[in-house]
A and B are shown apart, each in its own frame.
Chain A
Amino acid sequence: MSLEQFKDRNVGTQNYTMLDLGESPKTGWGKFKQVAKRSVKLELFTGLKVTFREMIKALFMGEMHTTKYPFEKLPIAPRYRAIHEMKRLLESGHYRCIGCGLCEKICIADCIRMDTRYDENQRKEVSEYTINFGRCIFCGYCAEVCPELAIVHGGRYENASEQRASFALFEDMLTPLDQLTQQKEYPGFGAVSPDADKKIKKTPLAY
């Protein structure tokens, strides 16, 4: 599918079909005739028929639309941007975050704070990592910028809380160690798109 129809922003001229409603009556006699015709034609009952049909469908043919929300949940789209998740490396179980600080840098809501230090092996480790979800606008830049797919957006969208500024700690977002086997490579926001290979272009070396 080409992008043409999405790029055409001239809304209101395309894709509309005009219904032929006929001439609206001008004279009094014409109006009277229209009223009489419409009253006798029982067009009103079409509406009654439609609602009754929908009721029969809903009650006896299992086409009820309601999802009983707290008990049932609909699956959300993979690119939905909800509460962040911190991923681990599958092999070692170590967290993927390399402490580069790009997410902190790019965060436009200024809600990510991180602190790093060198551990005994002279590797960078994350000593502190918080996201202020009271300020986060879920723009997804952090996930997009992360070079290691360490921070991604998860699917946990029920984030009402009693306090306005509820902090989230690194450990809360991190996949628990015992559930490491169930960690899924997140297809959602921040992940590499399926056609990433095709999109790669040669870096022009001119500059």
Chain B
Amino acid sequence: MDGYIIATVIKAILVLAVISALAGFGTYLERKVLAFMQRRLGPMHVGPYGLLQLVADGIKLFTKEDFIPNNANRLIFMIAPVITAATAFIALAAVPMLPEFELFGITVRPIVSDLNIGILFVLGMMAAGLYGPLLAGVAQHNKWGLLGAARTAVQFLSYEVVTGLSILAPIMIVGSLSLIDFNNYQAGGIGEWLIWKQPLAFILFLIAGFAETNRTPFDLLEHEAEVVSGYATEYSGMRWGMFFIGEYANMITIGFLASLVFFGGFNDWGFIPGGLAILLKVSFFFFLMLWVRASWPHIRPDQLMWLCWKVLMPLAVINVTVTGFVMMF
């Protein structure tokens, strides 16, 4: 029992440290990839190829004035970014990152807490993450912030429906909510991947995932051209940084979910060992998010709602129904 607690604490700290570092590194990657796609160089001057840009940004964010505007609700204003970052990391607790491996003779399972309803927990935690932007926008006494918060509520609430419904069909096929069961179901190689059985569900999940992580083409919460910076208008320094660490951690989570549920998870992939395979898949999804950001313009809020309620949700319901019928007969 004691060993279990210690192991869990160590795993939690490791996940926190590694993912927050990766989230910071993600900003560097995003700037680089976007730059290459526009035939620019991106950050180049801090360290070799700008690799230490992350450190420079960190120093800047930490030393910046922690500004709280007049008339804002101080307590809520200060808590809001913590909610975003915390829920993003808590969601990662139920995600199995790598296959089991042996370290100093102990079998390590790289998942902080193996819940048997893992996937629902991740989605629920990401759903709770909407309180970060929402409270931030309401507490800051700023019209742009309020607009951003309204958009947060609308967008996240709507697209949660699509995420849940789209992932329901794979859940029905596997018959379990545990992400490890999902992984084991697809152990038979590429032919067993759930993407072949549920291509529509994958597309819906990916689109909804973009919306839930607030990425272009659905980055309406803080779109500069319309609502200055949305919920983050009044934020500066590390509090602002926490929003973005949360966003990038969510991107990584969506990457893990997509590769675990639809793309065979951490099973060996031909000659590539499982651990490397899942990292490759997650990197691909991360890259896809940046790629899409470089390519596509974002859409209007009414188009966003139209897409969710008139296109994606009916498709998801039809997909679930058809899957049910096929499984029954």
Tell whether any CB of A sits under 8 Å from a CB of B in the complex: yes
Q: Which residues of A contact B (CB under 8 A)?
A: 35, 44, 47-48, 50-52, 54-55, 57-59, 63-66, 68
In the bound complex, residues from chain B placing their C-beta under 8 Å from that of A44 are 296
Residues in B128-167 with C-beta less than 8 Å from chain A: none
Q: Is the CB of B39 within 8 A of A57?
A: yes
Cα A57 to Cα B36 in complex, Å, equals 9
* Interface stretch (choices B53-61, B109-117, B258-266, B287-295): B287-295
**Interface majority SS (helix, strand, loop, mixed), chain A:** helix
- Shortest 6 CB-CB contacts between residues of A and residues of B: A58-B39, A47-B295, A66-B41, A51-B37, A51-B295, A55-B36
Verify B295–A58 contact, CB threshold 8 A.
no
| Known contacts A35-B311, A51-B291, A52-B291; is-contact A65 B296 (Cβ 8 Å) | no
A-B CB contact pairs (8 Å), 24 listed:
A35-B311, A44-B296, A47-B295, A47-B296, A48-B295, A48-B296, A50-B295, A51-B37, A51-B294, A52-B291, A54-B36, A55-B36, A55-B37, A55-B39, A58-B37, A58-B39, A58-B40, A59-B36, A64-B40, A64-B41, A65-B40, A66-B40, A66-B41, A68-B44
Range for the number of chain B residues in contact with chain A: 10 to 19
In angstroms, Cα B42 to Cα A66, docked, is: 9
Which residues of B approach A to under 8 Å, CB–CB? Answer: 33, 36-41, 44, 291-292, 294-296, 311
Docked-complex contact B44 and A54, CB < 8 angstroms: no
Q: Bound complex: CA of A47 vs CA of B293, how far in Å?
A: 11
Q: Are A54 and B39 in contact (CB under 8 A)?
A: yes
Contact partners of A63 in chain B: CB under 8 A: 39
Q: Are B38 and A54 in touch, CB under 8 angstroms? A: yes
Residue with the highest number of chain B CB atoms closer than 10 Å, among A35, A51, A65: A51
B295 touches A64 (CB 8 A): no
**Given that A35-B311, A48-B291, A51-B291 are known contacts, is A64 also in contact with B39, CB under 8 Å in the complex?**
yes
Q: How far is the CB of B258 from chain A (nearest CB, A)?
A: 17
Contact call B40/A54, Cβ cutoff below 8 A: no
- Measured CA separation A27–B39 after assembly (Å): 43
| Distance of A51 Cα from B295 Cα, bound (Å) | 6
Contacts of B44 in A (CB 8 A): 68
In the complex, what residues of B have CB within 8 A of residue A68's CB?
41, 44
Q: Name B292's closest neighbour in chain A (CB-CB).
A: A48
Residue of A whose beta carbon sits closest to that of B296: A47
Residue ID in chain A nearest B293 by CB atoms: A51
Report the minimal beta-carbon distance from A130 to chain B, rounded to whole angstroms: 38
A59's nearest neighbour on chain B, judged by CB, is B36
Which chain B residues border A64 with CB–CB below 8 Å?
39-41
In the assembly, what is the distance between CA of A64 and CA of B33, in Å? 13
Q: Give the CA-CA distance A2 to B325 in the complex, in Å.
A: 74
- For B41, the chain A residues whose CB sits under 8 A away are 64, 66, 68
